[in-house]
C-alpha cells in the first residue's frame, strides 16, 4: 500500500512561481521527497527555476539548508582531544572557485601548526575552475577517498586532512547540484548558499571562513552579487552556531603564476618553503589568521610558520597519511608552447577566465564530471599585472600531453592580455572586503 504524500509538487512549484513564501513543512517535504524519488527531476528543475527568478527569504533559505543537512549524516569532531584532555578546535575554509586557486594546499597544514584541526572536504574541478582533489591527485599515491574513521584518525594524528566528501553528507545537495548544472539554475544565490553551507554545517566544523571570489574568472562576476552571496552564507553559518566570516577576493587575474594541477602543487610547495608568489602568500596568511581567530587562537604568526618550515612539516605528514609520497617527482607535460608579449609596456590586464579556459582546453580541467584530467597540463605565467614587459618576451607557457590542444588554448587567450604605456598601473585588488 502506497502512503499518500502530504503535499503536491505542483502546488509547491506554483507557490514559488507566484512569488509566495514556502512554508517550513513544504520545504522539508520537497527536499525529502526529491531525495527519495517522489518528486521528479522535471518538477524539481521547475522549482529551481522559480527560485532563480523569484528568490527566497532568509527564512526560506535557512530552512532549505536545514532540510538538505537532514537528508544525510552529520560529522562530529567533539572526540578530538589534546593530551591534556582539552577539546581540539576545528576550522575550515571554502572558496567559491577560481583560476590558480591552490590556497587550500598550503592553508590546511599552516592552520594545523597552531593546534587547530582542519577537516577540509574538497571537490573536483569542472570547466575553467580548478579542483583541489585533482591537484592533489597529481602527487603519486595520494588518495582522496577516506572513511570517516580514517579522517578522524588523521585529524588526531596530523591535524589536517583534505579529502572528498562522503556520500552520506547532504545527499540531497549532490542530487540537486547535478540537476541545476544541466537546467540553467546554477546561478540562484539561495541555492548556491544552501548547497555550500549544507555541506559545511553537516561537516561539523566549529569555525568557517568563506573565500568568495569576484571577477571574470569567478562564479560571481560583480561585487554586488558576490556580497549578497557572502552575506547569505555568513547568516546561514551563524544561525547554525558556526563562527562564520567571509572575505571578498579578486579573481579578475589568476592567483599566483600557475593554473593546472601538478604545477599548482609545485607552486604550493614554494609557498610552504617560505617563498612563492606574493598574492598566494598574502591570501594564505590572511585566511589562516581568520580561521585561527574563529577557532579562538589569537597571537599566532602564520607567516612565520611558512618561513620556518613548520607548515611544510605538517604538509609532508598530511600527504603521507593519505598514501602520497611527498618526495616523489610531480608529473610533467610532454609538450609546451610559449606565448610572447605583443608589445613593450606595462602588463595591466591578464584575464582570469581566458587563462582558466586555456588551461581547461589543454587538459587540466573537465567538461563533465566523469572526464579525466592531465596532471601536467596547464598554463605557467611569466608575468603578472604591474610587470614591465618587452615585445617578444615570454608571457606564459602552455603545457599539455596532447599538442593538438594548443590551437584552441591560444584561441581562448585572444584578447586576454592588456599592455599599456610604461607608467600605467593595474587597477586590481586582492582582498576587497570582510563580511562578518
DSSP conformational letter for 113: T
CB 257 within 8 A of CB 271: no
Backbone region of residue 31 per phi and psi (left: phi > 0; alpha: psi in -120 to 50; beta: other values):
alpha
> In this structure, what is the dihedral angle of CA atoms 306, 311, 316, 322, given to the nearest 10 degrees?
-130
Please indicate whether residue 173 is annotated as part of the active site: yes
CA–CA distance, 167 with 29 (Å, rounded to integer):
21
Task: Please pick, among 128, 135, 199, 243, the residue that the annotation labels catalytic.
Answer: 199
Task: Please pick, among 95, 194, 195, 354, the residue that the annotation labels catalytic.
Answer: 195
Cβ-Cβ contacts under 8 Å for 293 (sequence gap 6 or more) = none
Task: Please pick, among 63, 180, 384, 405, the residue that the annotation labels catalytic.
Answer: 180
Please indicate whether residue 382 is annotated as part of the active site: no
Query: Which H helix or E strand runs over 193?
Result: helix 189-203
Strands (E), 269-343: 335-340
Please indicate whether residue 317 is annotated as part of the active site: no
CB 359 within 8 A of CB 260: yes
- DSSP states of 148-188: HHHHHHHHHHTSEEEEEPPTTS-HHHHHHHHHHHTTT-TT-
Burial string for 122-137 (b: 16+ CB within 10 Å, else e) reads bbbbbebbbbbbbbbb
**Closest Cα to residue 429, out of 279, 298, 323, 286?**
279
Which SS3 state, helix, strand or coil, does residue 200 take?
Answer: helix
DSSP conformational letter for 119: E
CB 149 within 8 A of CB 76: no
Query: Which H helix or E strand runs over 196?
Result: helix 189-203
DSSP conformational letter for 393: S
Which SS3 state, helix, strand or coil, does residue 250 take?
Answer: strand
Work out the number of other CB atoms within 10 angstroms of the CB of residue 183: 16
CA–CA distance, 327 with 307 (Å, rounded to integer):
19
Task: Please pick, among 173, 211, 279, 351, the residue that the annotation labels catalytic.
Answer: 173
Please indicate whether residue 211 is annotated as part of the active site: no
Please indicate whether residue 128 is annotated as part of the active site: no
Task: Please pick, among 16, 63, 93, 94, the residue that the annotation labels catalytic.
Answer: 94
Active site members: 94, 173, 180, 195, 199
Amino acid at each position: 500500500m502506497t502512503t499518500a504524500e502530504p503535499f503536491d509538487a505542483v502546488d509547491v512549484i506554483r507557490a514559488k512561481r507566484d512569488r509566495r513564501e514556502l512554508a517550513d513543512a513544504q520545504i522539508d517535504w520537497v527536499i525529502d521527497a526529491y531525495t527519495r524519488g517522489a518528486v521528479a527531476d522535471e518538477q524539481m528543475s521547475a522549482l529551481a527555476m522559480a527560485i532563480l527568478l523569484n528568490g527566497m527569504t532568509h527564512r526560506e533559505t535557512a530552512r532549505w539548508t536545514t532540510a538538505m543537512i537532514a537528508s544525510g549524516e552529520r560529522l562530529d569532531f567533539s572526540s578530538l582531544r589534546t593530551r591534556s584532555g582539552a577539546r581540539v578546535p576545528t576550522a575550515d575554509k571554502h572558496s567559491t572557485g577560481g583560476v590558480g586557486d591552490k590556497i587550500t594546499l598550503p592553508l590546511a597544514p599552516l592552520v594545523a601548526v597552531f593546534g587547530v584541526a582542519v577537516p577540509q572536504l574538497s571537490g573536483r574541478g569542472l570547466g575553467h575552475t580548478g579542483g583541489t582533489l585533482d591537484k592533489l591527485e597529481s602527487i603519486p599515491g595520494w588518495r582522496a577517498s577516506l572513511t570517516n574513521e580514517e579522517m578522524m584518525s588523521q585529524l588526531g594524528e596530523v591535524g589536517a586532512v583534505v579529502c572528498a566528501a562522503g556520500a552520506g553528507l547532504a545527499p540531497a545537495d549532490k542530487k540537486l547540484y547535478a540537476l541545476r548544472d544541466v537546467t540553467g539554475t546554477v546561478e540562484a544565490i539561495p541555492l548556491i548558499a544552501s548547497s555550500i553551507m549544507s555541506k559545511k554545517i553537516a561537516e561539523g566544523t566549529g569555525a568557517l571562513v568563506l573565500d568568495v571570489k569576484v571577477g571574470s574568472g569567478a562564479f560571481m562576476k560583480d561585487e554586488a552579487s558576490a556580497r549578497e552571496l557572502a552575506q547569505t552564507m555568513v547568516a546561514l553559518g551563524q544561525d547554525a552556531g558556526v563562527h562564520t566570516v567571509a572575505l571578498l577576493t579578486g579573481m579578475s587575474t589568476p592567483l599566483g603564476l600557475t593554473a593546472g594541477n601538478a604545477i599548482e602543487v609545485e607552486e604550493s610547495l614554494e609557498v610552504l618553503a617560505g617563498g612563492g608568489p606574493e598574492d598566494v602568500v598574502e591570501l594564505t596568511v590572511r585566511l589562516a589568521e581568520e580561521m585561527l581567530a574563529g577557532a579562538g587562537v589569537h597571537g599566532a604568526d602564520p607567516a612565520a610558520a611558512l618561513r620556518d618550515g613548520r607548515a611544510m612539516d605538517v604538509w609532508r605528514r598530511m600527504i603521507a597519511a593519505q598514501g602520497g609520497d611527498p618526495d616523489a617527482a610531480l608529473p610533467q607535460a610532454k609538450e609546451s608552447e610559449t606565448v610572447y608579449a605583443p608589445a613593450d609596456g606595462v602588463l595591466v590586464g591578464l584575464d582570469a577566465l581566458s587563462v582558466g579556459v586555456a588551461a581547461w582546453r589543454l587538459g587540466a580541467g573537465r567538461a563533465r564530471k566523469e572526464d579525466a584530467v592531465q596532471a601536467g597540463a596547464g598554463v605557467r605565467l611569466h608575468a603578472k599585472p604591474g610587470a614591465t614587459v618587452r615585445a617578444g618576451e615570454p608571457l606564459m607557457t602552455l603545457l599539455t600531453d596532447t599538442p593538438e590542444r594548443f590551437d584552441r588554448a591560444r584561441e581562448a587567450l585572444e584578447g586576454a592580455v592588456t599592455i599599456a604605456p610604461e607608467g600605467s598601473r593595474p587597477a586590481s585588488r586582492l582582498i576587497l572586503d570582510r563580511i562578518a
